[in-house]
Amino acid sequence: MDIDARDRLIDVYYEAVDSRDIDRFADVFAPEATHFRPGQGTLEGLDAIQRYFREDWRSSETDHAVDKRIHDPEVTVSRMVVSGVYEGEPFEGRFLAEFEFTPAEDAIVAYRLYRGYER
């Protein structure tokens, strides 16, 4: 298990989200990846994930400040403070995100977001 490779994939994902460079998702997600967000259900496949972020994602000016990562043989969990603008209003809150990787650990195969704040 290469934790550094996992961390690089996670970092690229957050950089792509924050810069709105959705094309870079192809560098980190497996084609069959799933992406779960509370209240929005599970997106299935890279195309669906990219389409959501291009067409439906309502946050902007985001910054994902990861302050802790926990690795086990199956998953990596990132704890972070996320700030940005949601539907015109500034927000800041704590989140947890769970990542699963392909067996070769060269792509994210599952992402699950857990919210822990109030707007």
Count helices and strands in the chain by DSSP H and E runs: 3, 6
Residue matched to tokens 């539907």: 87
pLDDT digits (tens, 9 = 90+) for 79-115: 999 999 998 999 999 999 999 999 888 999 999 999 8
Q: How far apart are CA 86 and CA 71, in angstroms?
A: 30
As a whole number, the mean pLDDT across the chain is 92
| All domains in the chain, ordered by first residue | 3-115 (3.10.450.50)
Say if residue 67's pLDDT is above 50.
yes
Beta bridge partners of 98: 77, 112
Asked whether the beta carbons of 44 and 51 are under 8 A apart, the reply is no
Asked whether the beta carbons of 83 and 106 are under 8 A apart, the reply is no
Single pTM value for the model: 0.91
Helix (H/G/I), strand (E/B), else coil: 57: coil
Regarding predicted confidence, which is higher, 46 or 115? 46
pLDDT digits (tens, 9 = 90+) for 85-95: 998 999 999 99
